[in-house]
Structures are given as structure tokens and as C-alpha cells.
Chain A
Amino acid sequence: MAPITTGHYLGLSAALLLIGVAGVLTRRSIVVVLMSIELILNAVNINLIAFSSNSQNVRGQIFAMFIIADAVAEAAVGLGILIALFRNKDTVLADEVDLLKW
């Protein structure tokens, strides 16, 4: 088997990005959309770590740390918003959120 290069990691990341984007665009459940966004962020992190180890500097890893911190903050606020919406609307399907024209 061919040795694993940075390119392999980038391919993996691109595939993950693809799946994430597809998930965001097609799923109706808001929670799953949020999960898909997490997938994209992880694709970014795979990229960053691969680049970091390729160029032998640690900036990419620090960047990834901040991205994880941000993902947490986003998830916390996003789920909070979801709960607030659910209280009033009883739906967690993206296309039933339609009081305003979508």
C-alpha cells in the first residue's frame, strides 16, 4: 500500500466536508443540521492538523483548539436557541420554521 501523505488527509477532509454540506442542505431536522455543521468543522480540523504536521509548525493545532472552543460555544448557543424555538413552536424541522418566508 502506498504510504499515507498529506494529500490523503486532505482527501478525507474533503469527503467529510462534502457529507457535512449535503447534510446541512438536505436534512429537515435542525439537530441533524447542527451535527452536520460539526462534521464540517471537524473536516477543517483534519485539514489543519495535517497541514500542521506537514509544515512542522504548531499553529495549525492551536487554530484547531480555537475551532473546538468555538464549536462548543456555537453548539451551546445554537441548542439554546433551538429550545427557545421549541417552546413556542413545537417543531424542530427546518422547513416548518416558516412564519417568515424562508
Chain B
Amino acid sequence: MLDVFFFYAFAALVLGGALLTVTLRNTVHCAISLIASLSGVAGIFLLQKAEFLFAVQIIVYVGGVMVLFLFVIMLVNLDTAARDRQFNRQWIAAVACVLAIGAEGVYFVRSGSGAWTFAAPSEFALSAGNTEDIARMLFSEYLVPFEIASVLLLVAVVGSVLMARREA
């Protein structure tokens, strides 16, 4: 019961935040709505017993990415932009795309659970320690993606320094 309540509460937070993000005029307000939305996502993670991901979501998104966004917003001083027209002229494309995805969603809702067949639960159930589960699999089976992720970070370091830094 509590579960249901929390789900709808977090879902409202997620969707409300998201809607405000894409509609608000002031970019700083958009960023703050985004934080709300992402926090809601973190709550959703928690409901699904993904505690580790919950922590990551808070640390990385709310603590990291959003700060970055705010820095950039201040760096490029978006106030002038906020006074202008807010939406571009791609309405038709947007409506078509949204309708297509929406129709798909309606189709699945109407056809009910029959349309969905989920993968059968695996033989071993998740243990209580979410982080241990992740760690065991990450550092054995997902060894290569993990190591290669460091290259991804390096690319990001070189790329952002190269792009943002002004050569002396």
C-alpha cells in the first residue's frame, strides 16, 4: 500500500519536474526542475531496491551534472535567451514524433499485459546486498566494459578541456 503511494508520489515528481523542464522559460528554473525530476527517478530506483543506483543517481546527477549545467548556464548568461521565443519551429516534426510514440504507448496500454512477456526471472534471486551483487558481476563478467569505461572518461577529459579551455 505504502508502495503504491510512493510510486505515484515519485512518478508525479518525475513527470512534473520533466514537464517543467521542457516548458519553463528561464533556463535556471529548468535546471532546478530537472533536479526535482532526477531526484524522483532516484526515488523510483529506491522503490525497486536498487539502492546503489539510488546513491549514484543522487551523487552524480544531483550533485554533479546539475552543478555543471548551472555553471554553464551562468557562464553563457542565458537571460537574454529567456526573453526570446521559447520554442522553435519544428512543431510538426515534434508533434508527429510524439504522436507516434504516444500511439505506441496507447497500443501497449490497451493490449494490456498480454503484449508484454518479460524475461523469466533468473535462477538465482538477488541477495539482500545490492551493492555486492553489482560488484561481483561488474568485476567479473563486466570486466572489459568497466576497463573500457576509463577510456570513455579520458575522452571526456580531453574533449572537454580541448573544447572549453582557451589556448594561452
Contact = CB atoms under 8 A, between A and B. Distances in A.
B44 A49 contact: yes
7 contacts: A29-B86, A39-B34, A39-B37, A45-B45, A54-B118, A72-B65, A92-B76
A14 B101 contact: yes
B86 A49 contact: no
Given A6-B118, A25-B97, A80-B164, A64 B53 contact: yes
Given A28-B87, A61-B53, A83-B76, A3 B160 contact: no
B163 A4 contact: no
Nearest to B28: A31
A18 B152 CA distance: 28
B49 A53 contact: yes
Tell me the dominant secondary structure on chain A's binding face. Answer: helix
Contacts of A25: 90, 93-94, 97-98
B18 A86 contact: no
Interface residues of B, number: 88
Contact of B69 (A31, A36, A80, A91): A31
Given A11-B105, A32-B22, A46 B116 contact: no
Interface in A52-74: 52-59, 61-62, 64-66, 68-74
Interface in B1-20: 1, 3-5, 7, 11, 14-15, 18-19
A72 B156 contact: yes
Contacts of A55: 118-122
B129 to A, nearest CB: 11
A46 to B, nearest CB: 6
